[in-house]
Structure 1
Amino acid sequence: MIFVDGAPFSTLTSSSSQGTDMLVSLLEHPFLVSASSSLKAIPERKFSVSEESGPQRSALSKWVYLFQQEYATVDPASVDFVGTDEATTCVGLVIRNPKNGMTSVGHMDSPNIVDLGLSQMLSLVVHDSDTKLDVHLFGGFEDVSPKHANSSTGSEGCENSVGYSFPLCMKIVESLEKRQEKFDIHTAFILWHNTRRDSDGNGYPIFHGFVVETLKGSVIPATFDSTSRCPDELVRRIRVSASYEDPSWNGKLLETYDTQTDRFKIAPCRWSLHQYHNAKTLQRHSDSYILSMCSTSPSAEGADFVDNLRRQWDYLIEHPHWTKTFPMKQPRIFERSIDGGWKSC
């Protein structure tokens, strides 16, 4: 059930257009329009381990970073910030219990993972059915005009003229509305709210990432550099593509972080010889070809998009057997070091 500014939100529409009308009405709600306008004026916070090193490092913030298709639920007693970036057509979903500050963030990249993903995110956040949970939606730009959208939320809908962002946003909103929990939406910085256009009318995201300040519950735009997207950056990136060939991950967000112990627990994943050969093949192509073949929004990706893919392929070529990375099929575990960073257990 959805609330906005503490009041129940509903639309009276025909069943054939319910999802589209609900999403459009939500984005046109004055409270959320005002929230989006205010968000645009907030400067991005830049996270970098290298810039936060030195004698004061131990007194600075502790954060949890998420890659695409990952989620984490954090306790404000252990974590100051939780966030993600590198989002173009993906959507970051924040669900926070205002009574205890428990905060779950998921980086969703497909309508197919929304329903199970919500259940994963809510498992440690909901303690009673009466609590209104604070919700923020962030990311997913207007890669295709929403006037062309229909109610399809499957993979075909993502690959036709509807684009990628709109079906994903619509699925998230529909799923929130159908669940019994109470979701109070504070931010919906998605689609046209998160779109800027060049002189030719091409759309780009205004922001690619965000963080949640867990103690206050505030959400601000953010970027992370290569030193702060940790721990286990390459393996976690590879898990995203490898998970599509692993049926045990069907419809799920990737498990990443252990809330109770404040550790990263990278669940094992398998990559196949097919992915090894695919990596060798793609590595030989030009940057422009890789960008066009491997991105849902080639013109909107960050400058390091292709380089990050090449590093993943180098790792796969060097480590063709996944059991070398996950010996005994055990997770890779990282705990916080004294300075707030991460070290392998």
Structure 2
Amino acid sequence: MILIDGVPFSKHSSSTSQGVDILLALLENPILVSASNSLKATPVRKFSVPDDSSPESSKWIYLFQREYATVDPAFVDFVGTDEATTCVGVAIRNLENGMISVAHMDSPKIVEMGLSQMLSLLVDDSLETEFDVHLIGGFEEVSPQHANGSVVSESDEDLDGYSFPLCSKIVHTLWSREEKFHIRTTCVLGHNTKRDCDENTYPIFNGFVVETASGTVIPACFDRSSRCPDEIVRRIRVSVSYEDTSLNGKLLETYETNTDCFKIAPCCWTLRQYQIASALQHYSDSEILSICSTSPTAEGPDFVDNLRRQWNYLIEHPHWTETFPKKQPRAFSRSADRSWKRCC
């Protein structure tokens, strides 16, 4: 069930529309339009690991594509993600206890199971629990001849990109569930789109965080030092997960809520991945963008470099058991200075 400003949202949606009607109505809702405008007026918070070990530094959880985490405000100050272009970030907050789950969703195929995973630690036995929901990300993937500056500029027949089907699936699934979801933010698609002088489109925001104490959503970006722990291995795990049938339809879990620790489950890569990495390293940056991105013109400046670093790791460590000895997970806990230290 979806609620807007405390009122149940009753927009009719047929089984064939798969949430298109709901999504279009939400994008036009004046309360949500105002919320998106307020978010766009909020300065972007930049996250970086400080050079010194300041005790005042914040504790945050960072999520890569297809990952999710449920956090306890007692342990974590912020939880968020970035590097999203056609992906959508979803934040769900339990209004009773303040627990928050955030996911970086990249495909309609993971939405139903992914939302169930997110809610598994947020929902008690009663369906009376209510949640705040924020949707941020995705943008209008339109050609210049179709762009006209409106929230949704294409006809239904032209909505065949990546962002629109993903957003549509998310809102349809929320609408279909029995829990009560108060939609607070829908800064997606046209609300998250900017244009250059040639009318090419780009996302306004690539990331956000939730401040756990208040539930406030803030635009955010992270530098390489703050996308931790185990950045490269987690990036590789995302890539190889698409060929792991046991993970079909699921988000990737790396963070343990009750212990405030990361545990990266073993993942295996094969000779095929090694060969692909070796071949792709010889392509130019523009070719890599064209081959590997759903939105080549909208990627961040470090997109290609991040891919090359992953491929270098695979080439240097062709056997996955070197990374996961005895097929055991890689675990990280917070040290006294709040940085992550590997414990096994």
In the superposition, the TM-score normalised over structure 1's length comes to 0.94
Quick check: 1:93–1:108 contact (8 Å CA) kept in 2? yes
Could you tell me which residue of structure 2 aligns to residue 35 of structure 1?
35
Output the amino acid matched with 2:294. T
Quick check: 2:18–2:169 contact (8 Å CA) kept in 1? no
Could you tell me which residue of structure 2 aligns to residue 132 of structure 1?
130
Structure 1 residues 324 and 149 mapped into 2: Cα distance closer, same or farther (>3 Å)?
farther
Q: Deviations over 1:57-114 (max 9, x none)?
A: 2222100000000000000000000000000000000011021110000000000000
Structure 1 residues 200 and 246 mapped into 2: Cα distance closer, same or farther (>3 Å)?
same
In 1, Cα distance between equivalents of 2:249 and 2:289: 26
Q: Secondary structure at the match of 1:192?
A: helix
In 2, Cα distance between equivalents of 1:266 and 1:314: 20
Q: Secondary structure at the match of 2:19?
A: helix
Could you tell me which residue of structure 1 aligns to residue 109 of structure 2?
112
Could you tell me which residue of structure 2 aligns to residue 44 of structure 1?
44
In 1, Cα distance between equivalents of 2:17 and 2:172: 12
Residue of structure 1 aligned with 2:169, choices 168, 171, 189:
171
| Cα shift at 1:201 | 1.2
In 2, Cα distance between equivalents of 1:171 and 1:262: 31
Alignment coverage as a number of residue pairs: 333
Could you tell me which residue of structure 2 aligns to residue 7 of structure 1?
7
In 2, Cα distance between equivalents of 1:229 and 1:85: 9
Structure 1: give runs of 5+ residues left out of the alignment. 151-159
1:284 to 2:291 alignment = no
Could you tell me which residue of structure 1 aligns to residue 83 of structure 2?
86
Could you tell me which residue of structure 1 aligns to residue 313 of structure 2?
315
Output the amino acid matched with 1:77. A
CA-based RMSD of the aligned residues comes to 1.3
Q: Secondary structure at the match of 1:167?
A: helix
| Cα shift at 1:20 | 1.2
Output the amino acid matched with 2:101. S
Q: Secondary structure at the match of 2:313?
A: helix
| Cα shift at 1:167 | 0.2
Q: Deviations over 1:100-134 (max 9, x none)?
A: 11000000000000011011100101123112101
| Cα shift at 1:7 | 1.0
Could you tell me which residue of structure 2 aligns to residue 98 of structure 1?
95
Q: Secondary structure at the match of 2:138?
A: strand
Residue of structure 1 aligned with 2:326, choices 328, 339, 343:
328
In 1, Cα distance between equivalents of 2:286 and 2:80: 29
Output the amino acid matched with 1:17. S
| Cα shift at 1:322 | 1.1
Could you tell me which residue of structure 1 aligns to residue 69 of structure 2?
72
Quick check: 2:19–2:172 contact (8 Å CA) kept in 1? yes
What's the % identity of the aligned pairs? Answer: 68
| Cα shift at 1:161 | 5.9
Could you tell me which residue of structure 1 aligns to residue 206 of structure 2?
208
Q: Which of structure 1's runs of 4+ aligned residues deviate more than 6 A?
A: none
Output the amino acid matched with 1:120. Q
Q: Secondary structure at the match of 1:168?
A: helix
1:25 to 2:25 alignment = yes
Q: Secondary structure at the match of 1:309?
A: helix
In 2, Cα distance between equivalents of 1:226 and 1:270: 24
Output the amino acid matched with 1:23. L
In the superposition, the TM-score normalised over structure 2's length comes to 0.94
| Cα shift at 1:14 | 4.9
| Cα shift at 1:12 | 2.9
Q: Deviations over 1:201-256 (max 9, x none)?
A: 11100010000001100000000000000000000000111001111111100111
